[in-house]
Amino acid sequence: MSWLSNALTSSIGRKIIMAVTGLFLCSFLVIHLIGNLQLFKNDGGQAFNVYSHFMGTNPVIRTIEWVLVAGFVFHIYESIMLTRRNKAARGPQGYVVNHNEQNSPWQSRNMGILGTIILIFLLIHLYNFFYRARFGDLDPDINNNDDLYTLVVSSFHQWWYVLLYVLAQIALAYHLIHGFKSAFQTLGLTHRKYTPFITYFGYAFSIIVCAGFAVMPLYFFFIK
Amino acid sequence: MAGSNPNAKPLNLTLKVWRQKNRNTNGQMVDYQVRDISQEMSFLEMLDVLNEDLLRKGEEPVAFDHDCREGICGSCNLFINGRAHGPEPGTTTCQLHMRKFNDGDTITIEPWRAEAFPVNKDLSVDRSAFDRIIQAGGYVSVNTGGVPDANEIPIPKSIADQAFDAATCIGCGACVAACKNASAMLFVSAKVSQLALLPQGQVERKQRVENMVAQMDKEGFGACTNIGSCAAECPVGISLENIAILNREFLAAKATSNNLA
């Protein structure tokens, strides 16, 4: 199988892994967003707690969870390997004057910084909600499900936590604006009939998904 | 001459030029003054004036690459004011004219920067990495025989045009110079897609892309992150779509070729 490992560790092979895992993580964002919309149901969090109980116990979900972990691990690992290769390719002597802001968008040149912001957010987010839901001892709600809803509401009443969420979603939106269409380009999926649609869909996807996530902390902080 | 103005005021300029003795020494930026530069000069002619001044003073002239001086050879590679071939779109350095600058301007001139393009001297870089990539597969093997009849191999106009657009790549390396990752993928993709589109390129199609990408990686070029600086700076307007074609060709070749290495 050396041909396969050689292919996947080549410059294009690593890019392809970035693209595939990136699009897979986009599909996760959609599921996560749709599920979390239950926070807006005005029932004291019962529907949200039923949903989070399902997500935490269903064997199919628990299996896919590991695929999701692998998706994140490969996406991050390949980004480190590619960044190291690319830094080495640029060489130690940089340009004294370089105006690359005149030939490329900012977010496309700063995917690593945006990704790092998202990773830091992700670790805090996982600790606060995922870890405490799975391994902590949350009080039961009236249906005897773990009351994750109350934890969400109390978290989203802290201004710094809300700010962190909103900033992370802005970073994610910029990351996706470049990443979504870029993944199709890397996979060679370009066509004059479909590429314009993919580009516009990528913009809409990035903004709608990230705005959807950002609305949740803002809703609880300012309205609820 | 259309568009020229013989009465345009000559320019006095400050140049900040990268000077480096050879590959094994460190370089630095050195300031020079050039006076009475005609606005009708090309950028290279302005450098010729600088070199004549330096020679008169008994100093070492600035080494820079140039050959055809009509935008075809791809030799005149200078990173001018932070842009490959200067700020004008779709031009090589020899096609950049001094009327694009103002009297009193300071102009920064640096060589292409990439680990795979070592500096020979001053502004001259070694781009033989590109030659080695072409040697790895950027050709069609032809058994020489009688001259074939014209139009013996039918090629649709749209395909011929697309292949020709890719074939206009002059191998100057502006894509590498402008890329944050010093990636050569625009260059390699132009060569790969040009030949992949045409019937003559089919026989070696899979081994071509495999070998050229392997050589590209071996030379130490970076990986594309779809930033688009390359296509924006390309003097002949090679499209980013070629990189998508390269990725597609690579994926298909790796999945179906008989090469087990």
pLDDT digits (tens, 9 = 90+) for B207-239: 999 999 999 999 999 999 999 999 999 999 999
- Comparing B11-121 with B128-256, is the CATH topology the same? no
Per-residue pLDDT band at A172 (split at 50, 70, 90): very high
For residue B81, pLDDT over 70 is answered with yes
Which ipTM was obtained for this model?
A: 0.92
Which residue in the set B83, B222, B247 is minimally distant from A186, CB to CB?
B247
Mean pLDDT of A177-184: 98
Tell if the CB–CB gap between A6 and B244 is shorter than 8 Å: no
pLDDT of residue B148: 80
3-state SS of A28-91? Answer: HHHHHHHHHHHHHCCCCCHHHHHHHHHHHHCHHHHHHHHHHHHHHHHHHHHHHHHHHHHHHHHC
| CATH tag, B11-121 | 3.10.20.30
Q: Which CATH number fits domain B128-256: 1.10.1060.10, 1.10.10.10, 1.10.10.60, 3.20.130.10?
A: 1.10.1060.10
For residue B61, pLDDT over 90 is answered with yes
Mean pLDDT of chain A: 96
Tell if the CB–CB gap between A100 and B229 is shorter than 8 Å: yes
Task: Show the tokens assigned to A136.
Answer: 């902590």
Quick check: B36 and B46 in contact, CB under 8 A? no
The chain B residue lying nearest A191, using CA atoms, is B241
Domain spans in chain B, listed from the N-terminal domain onward = 11-121, 128-256
Q: What percent of chain B has pLDDT over 90?
A: 90
Distance in Å, alpha carbon of B83 to nearest chain A alpha carbon: 6
Mean pLDDT of B157-173: 96
C-alpha triplet B237, B241, B242: angle, nearest 5°? 80
Contact A190/B at CB under 8 A: yes
Q: What percent of chain A has pLDDT over 70?
A: 100
Look at residues B218, B223, B166 and name the one whose alpha carbon lies nearest to residue B189. B166
DSSP 8-class letter at B202? S
Contact B16/A at CB under 8 A: yes
pLDDT of residue B3: 54
Note the pLDDT tens digit of each residue in A116-171: 999 999 999 999 999 999 998 899 999 999 999 999 999 999 999 999 999 999 99
Which residue in the set B87, B108, B183 is minimally distant from A96, CB to CB?
B108
Among A177, A190, A194, pick the best mutation site for testing chain B contact (most B Cβ within 10 A). Answer: A190
Distance in Å, alpha carbon of A25 to nearest chain B alpha carbon: 18
Those of residues 87-106 in B touching chain A at CB distance below 8 A are 87
Tell if the CB–CB gap between A85 and B222 is shorter than 8 Å: yes
